[in-house]
Amino acid sequence: MQILGLELLFVVLWSSGFIGAKYGLPYTGPFTLLFVRYVCVAILLLIWLSYRQKLRFHSKTAIARAAVIGLLAHAIWLSAALGAIALGVSPWIVALITALQPMFTNVLSGPLLGESISVVQWWGTGVGLVGVVLVVITKLEGAAEASLIGYALPFLAAASMTVATLYQRHLNRTQPGQNLPVMQSLFVQAVASAIALGPLAVVAEGLSIEWSQQFVFALGWLIVVLSIGSYGLMLKLLEYRTAARVASLMYLTPPTTLVLGFLLFNDQIAWVDAAGLVIAAIGVALVYRGEADRPKQVPATDPKRFLSMKP
């Protein structure tokens, strides 16, 4: 029951990312917003870890692994998604394409992690995708034309998050004692993301920011609620849940975003949206009934199955 509560909290926090985009992007470019966000996250976590006297990292290999996950789950994922929107792709199309991530995770978690995917889980994955499509399809009318690169970027975002999820779950299953604690891992991920995003922010956008109260609010929300809260919960959930189960929660984010928009900004919810929310929830429930936490007996440390990053 406690883990279920964390999962519900993760969905709500993850879905609230639109608040940062709504109030932040009008005042700066996507790369600059992400760069400043992760610099601030790194500074905040540095202060916290220093205060807690937890700045000692037990191995360089663990730092390297956390950095790779950070680049995949933060820098590439968010840059590709926001970059697609900046190139004229509808945010709802981006949401629809990135919602393929649970499907990708299901396909790959068996051969790479040995986590069996039952028939019920596959049905749940399909039903969840139908729910997302119902929510998104009504928002696509009049979507702006964009280049092929713009439409390719959401697929890159979905692939990047899929690899990050699978890799983190692989490490949690095979070498749990060698991984960094959540806060240390988030610190390394933030530093790696800031280093990667810095040149893009400077070259593409000149680090231009129009400071305002709304921008400061959006930045604070992205730092505390998204970068530390939701990502920290995802790392924690991957310690207890299979990659497929955690990924299935992504199906609930577009419908939950609609609900949050209704509560916070009085956005209207059509009956199709409500139906999509219910169907997506049914899909996730089916995934959870599939007994996904009973992995096959496979050589978990076989380097041919997944990247080991041995020193």
The reported pLDDT for the residue numbered 295 is 44
Helix (H) and strand (E) counts in the chain: 15, 0
Q: In sequence order, which residues have a C-beta less than 8 Å from that of residue 55 and are 6 or more positions away?
A: 46, 49
- Residue with the bigger pLDDT between 274 and 171: it is 171
Q: Cα separations (Å) of 76 from 68, 123, 262?
A: 11, 30, 30
| pLDDT tens string 64-96 | 999 999 999 999 999 998 888 777 777 777 777
The answer to whether 92 and 140 have CB atoms below 8 angstroms apart is yes
| pLDDT tens string 141-170 | 555 566 778 888 888 998 999 999 899 888
Smallest CA-to-CA distance from 211 within 28, 21, 34 is with: 28
What secondary structure does DSSP assign to 70-85, as a single string? HIIIIIIHHHHHHHHH
186 pLDDT band (50/70/90 cuts)? Answer: very high
Q: Is 129 helix (H, G, I), strand (E, B) or coil?
A: helix
290 pLDDT band (50/70/90 cuts)? Answer: low
Mean pLDDT over the full length of the chain: 81
| pLDDT tens string 228-259 | 999 999 988 888 877 778 888 887 887 787 78
Q: Does this model's pTM top 0.85?
A: no
- Identify residue 176 by its one-letter amino acid code: P
The reported pLDDT for the residue numbered 14 is 86
